[in-house]
Amino acid sequence: MKGNLIIISSPSGGGKGTLIKEVLKIASNIGYSVSFTTRQMRAGEDNGRDYFFVSRAEFSALIEKNEFIEYAEVHGNLYGTSINQVQKELAKGNDIILEIDVQGAESIRRKMPESVGIFIMPPSFEVLRQRLTRRATETHENLALRLRNSVSEVREFERFDYVVINDEVARATDDLKSIILAERLKRVRQTDAISYILNSFDNSKIT
Ligand code: 5GP
């Protein structure tokens, strides 16, 4: 049985990174897709762990080679998801989390309608602004751009299967984990295991 492809989106500063880290610590059989980006590496980030950091020319070459299942320009930089990583993880039977923006989410939804979409909603614009400002990772201009983009991004929640309001990390992590576990229990995802069990229920065994 193939694993589930789980899309997680939120506006920048919505806290999806923190929630995903927490979920990866407590859930098993789940991988994380490390995206490619042309954005500058931030202090504390690692190449290959947070992103594969590449130049625009390298990114264009990857597009040419059809290495991406989706890519998009987000807040002035390019970001893309590797097809290989996704396929490898799903083939192992593991779920895979794609932490991508709302445009990427839409592309994946079109290509893989069976994917599961989860939107992480900040509790308010003010909280989002505070989180982004406190994080202090962006220039003044880029922070303003991210906040401006958040106004349309939050309205995209309607296209997702689930919404987690991220007002409290521990509860929101529980919510996220519950969704991932419940998705694995859907009837249609358990057909192989169930047919094996059904085969053991046989009138001829009853004396
Ligand atoms: P950041 O620069 O803060 O790491 O990410 C900016 C935005 O790009 C976030 O919304 C993040 O989810 C999104 N993003 C990260 N990787 C990808 C990707 O591979 N594809 C798309 N479409 N968006 C991505």
What confidence score (pLDDT) does residue 98 get? 98
CB-ligand 1 contact for 100 (6 Å cutoff): yes
Predicted model pTM: 0.95
Q: Which range marks the domain in which residue 176 is found? A: 5-33+95-205
Residue nearest to atom 12 of ligand 1 (CA): 100
| Residue 12 near ligand 1, beta carbon < 6 Å | yes
Residue 15, ligand 1, Cβ within 6 A: no
pLDDT at 1: 65
Buried b (16+ CB within 10 A) or exposed e, 158-193: eebebbbebeeeeebbebbbebbeebeeeeeeeeee
On whether residue 72 sits in a domain, the answer given is no
164: CATH = 3.40.50.300
Burial of 91 per CB tally in 10 Å (0-12, 13-18, 19+)? exposed
With respect to residue 103, please indicate whether it lies within any of the assigned structural domains.
yes
Alpha carbon separation from 141 to 3, 12, 133, 137, 161 (Å, rounded):
40, 14, 12, 12, 33
Residues 88-147: tens digit of each pLDDT: 999 999 999 999 999 999 999 999 999 999 999 999 999 999 999 998 888 999 999 999
Is 184 part of a structural domain of the chain? yes
> How many structural domains are present in the chain?
1
**In this structure, which residue's CA is closest to atom 22 in ligand 1?**
104
Per-residue model confidence (pLDDT) at position 2: 81
Query: Which ligand 1 atom sits closest to the C-alpha of 16?
Result: 12
- Residue at 48 is within a domain: no
Would you say the CB of residue 166 lies under 6 angstroms from ligand 1?
no
Tell me which residue has its CA closest to atom 2 in ligand 1: 39
Q: Which residues of the chain have pLDDT under 70?
A: 1
Is residue 111 assigned to a domain? yes
Task: Judge whether 163 lies within some domain.
Answer: yes
**Would you say residue 21 lies in a domain?**
yes
Question: Quick one: which atom of ligand 1 is closest to the CA of 103?
Answer: 22
For the Cβ of 115 lying below 6 angstroms from any atom of ligand 1, the answer is no
Which atom of ligand 1 is nearest to 68's Cα? 19
- Quick one: tokens of 67? 């290495």
Structure confidence at residue 101 (pLDDT): 98
